[in-house]
């Protein structure tokens, strides 16, 4: 049995999503900016999808801007707001944290080369930011705070509401990269208190190459891409209609099963963990990330005494990761785990097992059995 446990890297396209997209890859091929009947059909489909995304985020449709994915949305939010706020004299300091996705960290580093000052806050052993650290970092020059909602490697969910209060008190724009959390847990923009929120289609059963950025009304962000006046003048480029339709449908499906889906995944995740713990032992298996405040589908564990990459190499029928997929070619400890204070040996033994909509109990049990056998073989060799 082949078992896919890398849903945090990418999800398969849901069959209902695929079916919704097909007409816009065939007969409904109009440009949504065209005024004729075929173009207007495409425009109507894009606006329906915008409403579907808005429903999942509990925001207004005009606050949703379609992009090419999570990395573009993060760049748009960070670079766009930073440029606008510096131009208006409202600051040139950015606050983020050490465990962000490279699409955030490298964007902040790029802006440092443009004269901005970036502060990279530490995290605790669970990978969580302390809101008090955020408060202490804020100055009169702070233009933007960008803290992810949930970590892609360990699943820890950040205390965004508390951070949002700090941002609001200081009149500071607040962005969150919610690529990993949208569709898995509640990501209601007003409830979280964020001004900008990143959505990545291929993390919630839509295709790759499409995403969205929530921009709260009144929040100004300089466009990342210039051209014609698409997306309300905020993101130039003819919309990827089929992809946008897929994203909209994926958000509709996510909203429909948000609570039940999260509950099911948490049960399967915990079943997998308990199976591993029982056979490997608590002295050789360490849980990484917060034990409670984490994504329901994510299990990151360190197998002590073996390398995670070597362990997975012994079980080719399991598709999983030793960390973020963006670091898959590197043979060094995950920067996220290092920032959490995980020892180098434990970090090198880490494996990320992320479950999803199509994961079954039989697959979980099979994966546990294969991983346990591979671990004991690795320890004895």
The residues annotated as belonging to the active site are: 326
Of the candidates 361, 355, 342, which has an alpha carbon nearest to the alpha carbon of residue 287?
342
Token pair 């004299």 in the structure block, residue = 89
Instruction: Kindly tell me the burial class for residue 274, based on how many C-beta atoms sit within 10 Å of its own C-beta (0-12, 13-18, 19 or more).
Output: exposed
**CA 169 to the chain's CA centroid:** 26
Could you tell me if 191 and 374 are in contact, meaning their C-beta atoms sit under 8 angstroms apart?
Answer: no
φ, ψ dihedrals at 206, nearest 5°: -100, 170
Tokens of 365: 């049990």
φ, ψ dihedrals at 175, nearest 5°: -115, 145
φ, ψ dihedrals at 54, nearest 5°: -60, -40
Tokens of 250: 């994926």
Question: Cα angle at 237 between 19 and 101, to 5 degrees?
Answer: 75
For residue 4, the SS3 value is: strand
Show the DSSP H helices in the chain as ranges.
15-21, 37-57, 70-87, 102-112, 131-137, 160-169, 189-192, 230-233, 241-256, 258-280, 308-313, 335-339, 344-348, 361-380
* Run of H or E including 319: strand 318-319
Task: Give whole-number Cα distances, 239 to 26, 104, 208, 235, in Å.
Answer: 16, 24, 14, 9
Of the candidates 63, 66, 59, which has an alpha carbon nearest to the alpha carbon of residue 191?
59
Of the candidates 185, 180, 204, 34, which has an alpha carbon nearest to the alpha carbon of residue 99?
180
Numbers of helices and strands, H then E, in the chain: 14, 12
Show the DSSP H helices in 209-360 as ranges.
230-233, 241-256, 258-280, 308-313, 335-339, 344-348
């Amino acid at each position: 049995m082949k078992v896919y446990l890398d849903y945090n890297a990418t999800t398969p396209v849901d069959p209902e999503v695929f079916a919704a997209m097909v007409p816009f890859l065939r007969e409904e091929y109009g440009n949504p900016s065209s005024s004729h009947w075929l173009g207007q059909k495409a425009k109507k489909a894009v606006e329906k999808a915008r409403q579907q995304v808005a429903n999942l985020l509990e925001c207004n449709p005009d606050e949703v801007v379609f992009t090419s994915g999570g990395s573009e949305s993060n760049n748009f939010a960070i670079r766009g707001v930073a440029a606008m706020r510096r131009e208006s004299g409202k600051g040139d300091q950015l606050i983020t944290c050490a465990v962000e996705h490279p699409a955030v960290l490298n964007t902040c580093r790029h802006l440092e080369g443009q004269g901005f000052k970036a502060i990279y806050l530490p995290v605790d052993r669970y990978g969580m930011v302390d809101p008090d650290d955020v408060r202490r970092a804020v100055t009169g020059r702070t233009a933007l705070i960008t803290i992810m909602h949930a970590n892609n490697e360990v699943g820890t969910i950040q205390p965004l509401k508390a951070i949002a209060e700090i941002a609001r008190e200081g009149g500071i724009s607040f962005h969150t990269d919610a690529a990993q959390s949208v569709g898995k847990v509640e990501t209601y923009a007003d409830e979280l208190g964020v001004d900008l929120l990143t959505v990545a289609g291929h993390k919630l059963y839509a295709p790759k190459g499409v995403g969205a950025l929530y921009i709260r009304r009144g929040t100004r962000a300089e466009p990342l891409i210039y051209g014609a006046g698409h997306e309300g003048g905020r993101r130039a480029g003819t919309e990827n209609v089929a992809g946008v339709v897929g994203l909209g449908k994926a958000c509709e499906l996510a909203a429909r099963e948000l609570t039940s889906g999260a509950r099911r995944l948490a049960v399967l995740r915990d079943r997998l963990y308990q199976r591993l713990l029982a056979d490997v032992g608590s002295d050789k298996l360490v849980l990484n990330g917060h034990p409670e405040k984490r994504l329901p589908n994510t299990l990151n564990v360190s197998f002590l005494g073996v390398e995670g990459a070597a362990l997975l190499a012994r079980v080719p029928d399991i598709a999983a990761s030793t960390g973020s997929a963006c670091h898959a070619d590197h043979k060094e400890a995950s920067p996220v785990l290092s920032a959490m204070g995980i020892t180098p040996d434990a970090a090198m033994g880490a494996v990320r097992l992320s479950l999803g909509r199509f994961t079954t109990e039989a697959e979980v049990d099979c994966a546990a059995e294969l991983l346990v056998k591979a671990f004991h073989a690795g320890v004895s060799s």
